[in-house]
A = this chain, B = another copy of it.
C-alpha cells in the first residue's frame, strides 16, 4: 500500500513521500525500511529518530524526524487499524463440518462456520455468523447472540447466555460448577450450582480462563469487558462494563466489580466485596475489602497506592531503622547514667 493511500484511509496528515510503498507493520525496534510503526508513549519518542521504519504514526505535535510521519490523534489506534489493513486472520467460510454433532433441537443462525468435532447440545440457540472451531462443546440450552466466535476446545456449560460478538479463546471454560460445599459432620457436601453465567456483548475471554456458573442466579460479565488468560472468576461474581482483568487474576465468590475497573495480573480478590467504578488494582495485590470508586490500590493486603509507596520505601530502610533504634537506645542509656549520677547531688 502506498503511504498516501494509507494516510487517506486513516485520516492522518502525511509528512513524507506519498508514493512510498509500505508492506507491513512492526514494533519500532523491529520495523524495516518498507514497514510502518508508531509512537504512542513519549518514553519511546527517542526511538523514532533511529527507527529504520519507512514511516511512523505519531501525535499531531510530534517533532520532525528523518522517517516519514503520519500525524493523527490516537497513533496507537491508527496502528491497530493499520494492522487490520495488512493482515487477515484465517478466514472460516460458512458451512457445517460433516463430523459436527448437532442436536436436532438446536437452532443455528445464518452464515455459521461449525468446525470438525464440534458438539452442540439440545436447545442451543446461536445467532447469525457464529464461528465454532474444532472441538468446541456447547452444553444443552446454551444461548449466544450474533458473531459468536469460539476457538478450538472452548466449552460453554448448560444454559449459559452470551450476547453478541462474544469471543472465547482456546480452552476457556464458561459455566463450570462453582466451588460450593456445606460442612456436614466430618465431611462436606456439594451445594448444587444451579445458576448460570451471563456474558454481555463484545466480551473476550482468554485462553484456559474459567468462569464458574452461579450457585443460584447469575455470574455476570458486563459488555465490552476483556478478560485475559488463566483467570478464575468464581460463582456469583458480577463484573461491570468495559473492565479489564489481566492474566491469572482470581476473583472470589459474589465479589461485585463496577464498570471500567482494571485488575492487574495475578491479583486476588476475596469474596463478597465491592469494587467501585474505575478502581484500579495493581498486579499481584491481595484485595481484602471494598474499594471506593476511582481508588488505586496495591499490596497484600491492599492499601491506597500512595500509602503503599510510602510503606514500601520504609521497608527498604527497615534494617537501617533497626540499627538507628539500637544506637539511640545506647546513647539514651549513656545520658540516663550521667543524669542519674548528677541527680543525687
Q: Which A residues lie at the B interface, using CB under 8 A?
A: 25-27, 30, 74, 76-77, 79-80, 83-84, 86-87, 89-90, 97, 99, 101, 115-117, 119, 121, 133-135, 137, 139-141, 151-153, 155, 157-158, 169-171, 173, 176-177, 179-182, 184, 186-192, 194, 202, 204, 206-208, 210, 212, 215-217, 224, 226, 228-230, 232, 234, 236, 242, 244, 246-248, 250, 252, 265-266, 268, 270, 283-284, 286, 300-301, 303, 307, 310-312, 314-319, 321-322, 324-325, 328-329, 331-332, 335-336, 338-339, 343
Contact = CB atoms under 8 A, between A and B. Distances in A.
B74 A182 contact: yes
Integer count of this chain's copies in the complex: 3
A194 B25 contact: yes
Query: 10 nearest interchain CB pairs?
Result: A176-B207, A87-B194, A314-B318, A83-B192, A80-B191, A119-B134, A137-B152, A284-B286, A210-B229, A207-B210
A228 B179 contact: yes
B224 A187 contact: yes
Given A207-B173, A232-B229, A139 B119 contact: no
10 contacts: A74-B182, A80-B182, A181-B226, A188-B244, A210-B230, A232-B248, A321-B325, A324-B329, A335-B336, A339-B339
Contacts of A170: 155, 157, 173, 176
A54 to B, nearest CB: 15
Contacts of A312: 301
A176 B242 contact: no
